[in-house]
A = this chain, B = another copy of it.
Amino acid sequence: MTFTTTKLLCWVLIRVVATKEGLDLLDKAVHRMPVHYKQHIDGCLSDTIGEHGLSEVELAPMVDAAEKATSDLGNGVIQGAAEILALPTQRDDLAHLDAIAEEMRSRFETLIVLGTGGSSLGGRAITALRPDNAMKLQFVDNLDPATMSGLLDGTDFSRTGFLVVSKSGATSETMAQYLVSFAATQATLGGDASSHFVVITDPFDSPLRHLASVRGHTILDHDPGVGGRFSVLSNVGMLPAAIGGLNTNEVRSGAADVLEQALGSSAAETCPSALGAAICLGLARHRDARMSVLMPYADTLEPFAAWYCQLWAESLGKGGKGTTPVRALGPVDQHSQLQLYLDGPKDKIFTIVETAISGEGHEISDFEEAPASIEYLLGNSIGDLVAAQQLATRNTLIEHKCPTRFFSVPRIEESSMGALFMHFMLETMIAARMLGVDAFNQPAVEDGKARMRTYLENR
C-alpha cells in the first residue's frame, strides 16, 4: 500500500474539516508548481452528493491502485509509456520546427493539414489558441468527396502548403487525401508542387514515406514510440502550433510541470491525474458511471474535448472494459444535453472546465428602451455571463447529485494547455494500468480496415 493510512487520514481530514477551507488548504499543499489548473473532486464524493458519490472506503483502494499505477509509470514498468513521458522535457527539436514553421509562414497564406484521428486532434486542440492574425490553418481529418472537391476547387495552390501526418504512412483516408491533393497541386504548379508538402511519418518504409522521398517533400520523423493519440507534444502537435505562432516551449513546459509533480512522489496529493483516474474508475465500478462527460466553457477548448474523447475511448475500450467519453460545450449544451444530465439516469461523471473569464469581451450596456426583465444582464460583460453560467451549471449538477468534478484554469494559454494535455494523458495511462489494458494499441479497428480494403479490391 503506497497510500498509507496516515496519508488517507490526512487527505480526508483536510477535506472534511471544512469543505471550502479544506480544499484551499489541499490546493496550497499540492500546488508548489506554477498553478496551471486546479482539480476539485468534492462533487464526486458521498459527503457532498450522498449515495451517488463515492465514500472514503470506496475511494481509498482506488487511490491506492492509482498511486501504484503512477509509480509504475515513473519506474518505466509500463511498456510504451517512456517515449511519451520523455516529450515534455525535450527541447532540442523545437528550433528546427520553428524554422520550418517560419518558412511555411513566409511562403504560404494557408496551411492545410491532412491526417485523421490522432494525427489531427492534438494539432487542432493546441492551435485553437492561435491568435487571430496567425496563418490560416485548415485541418482536413474526415474523408468526404464533396468536402475534398470543395477544398481543392477553392485552393490557390501557389499560396497553399500541405502538412501530411500519418504515423504508419499507410492510413487510407490520409493517403487518399494526400494523393488527390498532390495531383491537384501538381496539375497547377508542375514540378514546384513537391516543395509545398511537408510529411510527418514513421522512419520506416511505407507508401507515404516512399512517395515523400521520391517526390522530395520535407520529411519529419514521427516518433515511432508515440502513438497518434499521445502525440500532441511531439512534432505532430508542435509543428502546427509553431506554424500558428504559438510558443511550443511553453506548451511543453506546462506539461513538464504536471509530469514532474506527478512522478515526483506518485502520491495522489501531488498527482491530480492519479486522483482523477481513481475517481473516474471508482464511479464506474461502484456507481455504474458508464460515461465521462467533458464540458469546457470556452470555444477554444471544444477541439480539446474531441481530443480527450479519442484518448480515453481508444486507450481504454478493450476486452469489454472502458467507459464512453462524451464531449459537451458550455454554455450551448445547457440548451441541448443538460436536461438529460440533470434528470436522466445517473450513469455519468461530469468534468467541467472553468476559466477565469469574468470581465472579458463586450459589455452589455444600459440603454434607453431596456425592459426591466433584462436588467440583470446590463452592465455585465459577455465573460461575466459565461462565468455565472459555468458556476451555475457546476452547482446545479452537484445539487442534482450528479458526480461532478471541475477544473479551474486561470488562463487558457500555451502552458496551461500543455498542463491539461499532460493531466489527461497521465490520467488515461493510469486508468489503463488500473484496468489491466494496454493503453497504446487499438486491435479491434484493424478488423474494419481489412474489411474495407477487401471491399475495395473486390469492386
Interface of A toward B, CB cutoff 8 Å:
116-118, 121, 132, 141-150, 152, 170-173, 175-176, 179-180, 183-184, 206-207, 210-211, 214-215, 228, 290-291, 298-300, 306, 309-310, 313-314, 316-324, 326, 329-332, 334-348, 357, 360-365, 367, 369, 371, 373-374, 376-377, 380-386, 388-389, 391-393, 395-396, 399-400, 442-445, 447-449, 451-453, 455-457, 459
Contacts and interface: CB of A to CB of B under 8 A. Distances in A.
Contact of A339 (B180, B313, B344, B357): B313
Contacts of A141: 332
A284 B433 CA distance: 30
A383 B142 CA distance: 12
B377 A121 contact: no
B456 A377 contact: yes
Contact of A377 (B132, B175, B383): B175
Nearest to A214: B369
A298 B144 contact: yes
Contacts of A443: 339, 343
A55 B124 CA distance: 44
Contacts of A445: 334-335, 338-339, 342
**10 closest residue pairs by CB, A with B:** A145-B361, A117-B335, A317-B340, A317-B344, A392-B452, A342-B444, A310-B336, A313-B340, A145-B360, A396-B448
5 contacts: A210-B371, A317-B343, A342-B445, A388-B455, A392-B449
Given A148-B382, A324-B344, A382-B144, A453 B376 contact: yes
A86 to B, nearest CB: 24
A149 B374 contact: no
Contacts of A451: 392, 395-396
